[in-house]
A and B are shown apart, each in its own frame.
Chain A
Amino acid sequence: MTTTAQANATEPVTPYPPLVIGGEEVSSRLITGSGGMTSLSALKAALIASKTSLTTVAIRRFEPTSSMGLYKLLGELNLKILPNTAGCYSHKEAILTAKLASEVLGTKFIKIEVIADDATLLPDPIETLRATESLANEGFLVMAYCSDDPILARRLELAGAAAVMPLGSPIGSGLGILNPYNIESITNHSNVPVILDAGVGGASDVSQAMELGCDGVLVASAINRAQYPELMAKSLALALEAGYLTRISGRIPKRDQALASSPTEGMIAQ
């Protein structure tokens, strides 16, 4: 999706305009995941450093200690919460989980994540499409985690997804964007926000996603499993802004041959 911000020759837009998903404004384009962190205090520090305004949570059976501490922390930080359907293997499970999430949190945002198997953690495209269609029809703002397939992204948009979230590479792999051509193809043709999800390892991946035209990036493991999560969160927030500014700055076209930047006139050895 093309950004609404216009490049300005003298003063680029900075840091960037808010992201709008299904009519809801999300002030930061770096969406974070809350899973995999060692402690709530470390999560708090990383969330603050990332400057995120939207963070994901999963839905699980109630446990007094794990549930209420996180609930309190996210409220304290005044963050919007994006529940996900992680752990679901069918559209039926995902639909029930989405409805439970809406009951718990009073939000219509849902990140649909329907996994095909435990070994790859790759999203099941058929089940994802079914869940998206059903929940979008019921008024949910579906953010659909999907493979980096431009045709699937198009089908999800047609099914009513409020945003599509193609993976860069498998969850937790840190392999970055394995198929930039496909990601760019998705961003070029999508009419809903495109959020790169999964596979980010570091700053260059986040920047590349934004340069390829993504509207935002979702990062969990890259921050939460880094040796120093707070530092990594800061790094990725800067990378997101850098990538966005590159995108609107009118970068030079790629050339097959060199093009001198120094003047060719007035050289002493003619």
Chain B
Amino acid sequence: MNLRKDIDITINGKALSINESISLAALLDELTIPTIGVAIAINQEIIHKSQWTMRIITGGEEIEIVSIVAGG
């Protein structure tokens, strides 16, 4: 019996349900997002790369994953 629950979060403006107790690093892995060339903010606060494995995602959080694009 699977006791894990789903939580609702937002990634880059899109709603998503994920397993609770998942770390940011595990989430990125699951979404196949590269770990270089990206930066992440949760609820407008930057999460440094060194914190990605420790940072557990909680319900309702708004995650922004950004990278560079041609511009300027």
Answer whether A59 and B66 are a contact pair too, CB < 8 Å, given A68-B34, A96-B41, A100-B39: yes
In the complex, how many angstroms separate the beta carbon of B64 from the nearest chain A beta carbon?
7
- CA separation between A36 and B70, bound complex, in Å? 7
Contact present for B46 and A84 (CB under 8 Å) = no
List residues 34-72 of chain B with CB under 8 A from any CB of chain A. 34, 37-41, 44, 46, 48-49, 64-72
Give chain A interface residues in 9-51, CB to chain B under 8 Å.
Answer: 33-37, 43
A200 to chain B, nearest CB (A): 13
- Contact flag A62-B72 (CB < 8 Å), given A68-B37, A96-B44, A103-B48: no
User: Taking CB as reference atom, which chain B residue is nearest A60?
Assistant: B69
Per the bound structure, the CA–CA distance linking A102 and B37 in Å amounts to 10
Cβ-defined contact, A104 with B37, below 8 A? yes
B: interface residue count bin: 20 to 34
How far apart are B66's CB and chain A's nearest CB, in angstroms?
5
Interface size class for chain A? 35 or more
Q: Which residues of B contact A111 (CB under 8 A)?
A: 72
B71 touches A58 (CB 8 A): yes
Q: Which residue of A lies closest to B39 (CB)?
A: A103
Q: Which residues of A contact B33 (CB under 8 A)?
A: 62
- Please state if B72 and A99 are interface contacts (CB–CB under 8 Å): no
Contact A105/B46 with A67-B37, A96-B41 known, Cβ cut-off 8 Å: no
Q: Is the CB of B46 within 8 A of A99?
A: yes
Does the CB pair B46–A100 fall under 8 Å?
yes
**When chains A and B are docked, how far (Å) is the Cα of A37 from the Cα of B39?**
25
Interface pair B39/A104, CB less than 8 Å apart: yes
Residue in B12, B37, B38, B72 whose beta carbon sits within 8 Å of that of A58 in the complex: B72
Residues in A with CB closer than 8 Å to B70 are: 34-37, 43, 57-58, 66, 70
Chain B residues with Cβ below 8 Å from A35 are 70-72
- Any chain B CB within 8 A of the CB of A56? yes
> Which residues on the A side are within 8 Å of B38 (C-beta)?
62, 67, 104
**B10-37 toward A: CB 8 Å interface, digit per residue (1/0)?**
0011000000000000000000011001
B65–A61 CB distance below 8 A: yes
A220 to B70, CA, bound (A): 10
**Candidates B12, B13, B66, B72; contact of A100 at CB < 8 Å:** B66
Binding site for A on B (CB under 8 A): 12-13, 33-34, 37-41, 44, 46, 48-49, 64-72
Q: Can you offer 5 A-B residue contacts whose CB atoms are under 8 A?
A: A34-B70, A35-B71, A56-B71, A57-B72, A84-B72
